Amino acid sequence: MFSQGFTVSGSSLKLLDIGERGVVAALRNPDDGVIRQLRGLGLLPGTLIQLEQRSPQFVVTTESDRITLDDRLIGAVYVRLTNPKTGLDKKR
C-alpha cells in the first residue's frame, strides 16, 4: 500500500492492496442501512479481513467467509493494518 519507511496504522478498506490484511476498526456511513448490511455480513469492528481481489469484484476474506462488497459497502469500512500479505489461517 505504501512505500518502505512510511507507517500507517489505519486505512480505508478501498486503499488496501491485494493480500493486505487488517482488523475492522470502524464502520462509517450516514446511511444506517449500509452499516446494518455490513454487520449482517459479519463485518464488525474487531473482525480480521484480507483483501483477496479488486476486480471484477471486490472480495475480502475473513477467518470463516469470503465476502463480495459493492462500492457503497467498501467505502464504509475502515481497517487497522496488521501484518500484510501473510494470509488468514483458514479454519474450514
Q: How much is the pLDDT for 82? A: 83
Q: For residues 17-29, give the mean pLDDT.
A: 94
28 within some domain: yes
**Into how many domains does the chain fold?**
1
Q: Does 27 reside within a domain?
A: yes
pLDDT of residue 10: 78
Burial class (CB in 10 A: 0-12, 13-18, 19+), 48: middle
Check pLDDT > 80 for residue 83: no
Residue 21's φ and ψ, nearest 5 degrees, are -135, 160
Q: What is the pLDDT of residues 49-65, one digit of tens each?
A: 999 999 999 999 999 99
What is the CATH number for 57? 2.30.30.90
CA nearest 81: which of 8, 5, 15, 3? 8
Per-residue pLDDT, averaged over 20-43, amounts to 96
